[in-house]
Chain A
Amino acid sequence: MELIIQTLVNGLLIGGIFIMIAVGFTLAFGVMDIIDFAVGEWVMLGAFAAYWLQTLVHVDPLLFFPVIMLTFGAAAYVFQPVLQSVINIKHRSAALMALAFTFGLSTFFRGAALTLWGFNNRNIVTFLSDQSINILGITLPALRVAATVFAVIITIGFMVFLNKTKTGVAIRAAAENKTIAGLMGIDGQKVARTVYAIYAALTSLAGVFIGSIFSVNPDMGLRYTAFAFFVVVAGGMGSFAGAIAAAILLGLIASFVSVYVGGAYIFLILFLFLYFVLLFFSKGILGKGL
């Protein structure tokens, strides 16, 4: 019984981190109409940023997360027009080309990281590492709790921003229809840039947490790309509530499968599950997608 509860708690806590990735990813998908296959590499680079901050500057990377987020946000803001120009190419298969482009980008990031930093696993030590809270025999690792608390705060903040501020509502409008939003005076290009920057910042923060909880290596990104893909599709393309639900579900599935079946089967079971979701709930698990 205790094992079940522990597994459940672990799943919920890891689901919290996935929410951080899912929210930004869903918004970027909504505004730019592409699946960014490089999402996992932002996680990897975020983790490496934390590692180098610790190794070279000797600071606790967890305390310097705003620096990491700002750096990634700024880099993405500068880079976004390049990606946008591929999406906007006047060509029948522009969407496919953009998809291939992000895939190439992901390969490039992974290859560059491998060449520069080698294949070793590295560890990030933060002030929360090795700390944990015990409640009724259930262990709550402090780092995972912090990650989830962060994810919840950020998600709520993000929702308030999207629903209550003028810019937020404009972003939602542009996500639904850029042409019409343009007629309202909303610069779709600027919205896409802003959203891409927010998405990269959130994903890099998830990378800091993931790198601290597990370990850092150049190959870690791919699995998070697959996870992000699972979350948007299972949640229903473009639906926030769906993506959040799918992120928690993903955490639970990953946790239970690795305890009761074996870590090697996570992807098999995850995508089998996705297959049935698509078969029976084509609009996502909450029925709110496109």
Chain B
Amino acid sequence: MELVLEVENLEVSYGGIKALQGISFHVAKGEIVTLIGANGAGKSSTLRAVSGMIRASGGRINFKGNDVTGLASHSIAGLGLSHVPEGRGVFTRLTVEENLGVGSFIRDDKEGIKKDMETVYELFPRLQERKKQLGGSLSGGEQQMLAIGRAIMSGADTLLLDEPSMGLAPLIVQDIFSIIKHINAVGKTVLLVEQNANQALKASHRAYIMETGRIVMSGNADKMIHDPEVKKAYLGGH
């Protein structure tokens, strides 16, 4: 098992308040791993610290053999990690095509970029129809597609996805999850954060459950989905 991401005792504070109280987890190559937990459990903070959006106040983050703790986000992106942040972060004043272009900013291989652009348009035909439209004019679902498309364009082998299903209609949520499974099947490692625990567990290999800045449980997703405790707390008791 080749580890892509190894996090040890990660701590993050916001103005003296500890959002992460020393968490450790790992993601192996080819996995989909989910972080599950209530609002404020520290899931998004974890992703932000890994991608360098925020600074860790303690602990160590290792990405593909590089110590990336404290590196700026643009340097971490250069190592092949793409973070699709909460709220999607689509550039509203750039067209769909330009958004995808910015996604491939760190790459020089024209052929590869062209191929990935075709892949994105194949996965999301809607984006091709709207490629000249401004990012800000897209619906929530389309913006999520664009954000994921942009991550594919980066050529990164590891994607961090923060709440990809947030605010989307159930049908589109299904689409998004099947696409996450698809891009994983073609070789991308995925670290996912979700409030929609049911869907996320179905799509994932492994999961960690977070509560108030700590990891309280971890294991295989298919086992967790049947765990009575998990069911009661996170899957709505069904």
The interface of chain A, by Cβ under 8 A from chain B, is: 166, 169-170, 172-173, 176-177, 179-188
Contacts and interface: CB of A to CB of B under 8 A. Distances in A.
Interface string B141-161: 000000000100010000000
Contact of B105 (A176, A177, A179, A184): A184
Given A170-B105, A184-B106, A186-B74, 9 more contacts: A169-B102, A170-B102, A176-B94, A179-B53, A182-B52, A183-B83, A184-B102, A185-B154, A186-B102
Given A169-B98, A169-B101, A180 B106 contact: no
The 6 closest A-B pairs by CB, nearest first: A185-B106, A185-B77, A182-B73, A180-B89, A187-B74, A173-B102
Nearest to B51: A183
Contacts, number: 66
B85 A180 contact: yes
Contacts of A183: 51, 53, 73-74, 77, 82-83, 85, 89
B92 interface: yes
Given A169-B94, A172-B94, A176-B92, A185 B74 contact: yes
A182 B53 contact: yes
B53 A172 contact: no
B228 interface: no
22 contacts: A166-B101, A169-B101, A170-B102, A170-B105, A172-B98, A173-B94, A173-B98, A176-B93, A179-B53, A180-B85, A180-B89, A181-B102, A183-B73, A183-B77, A183-B83, A184-B74, A184-B105, A184-B154, A185-B74, A185-B105, A186-B102, A188-B74
Nearest to B99: A173
Interface in B104-154: 105-106, 150, 154
B25 interface: no
The prevalent SS among residues of B at the interface is loop
Contacts of A180: 85, 89, 91
A125 to B, nearest CB: 44
The prevalent SS among residues of A at the interface is helix
Nearest to A187: B74
A187 B53 CA distance: 12
A187 B76 CA distance: 11
B73 to A, nearest CB: 4
B154 A187 contact: no
A179 B88 CA distance: 12
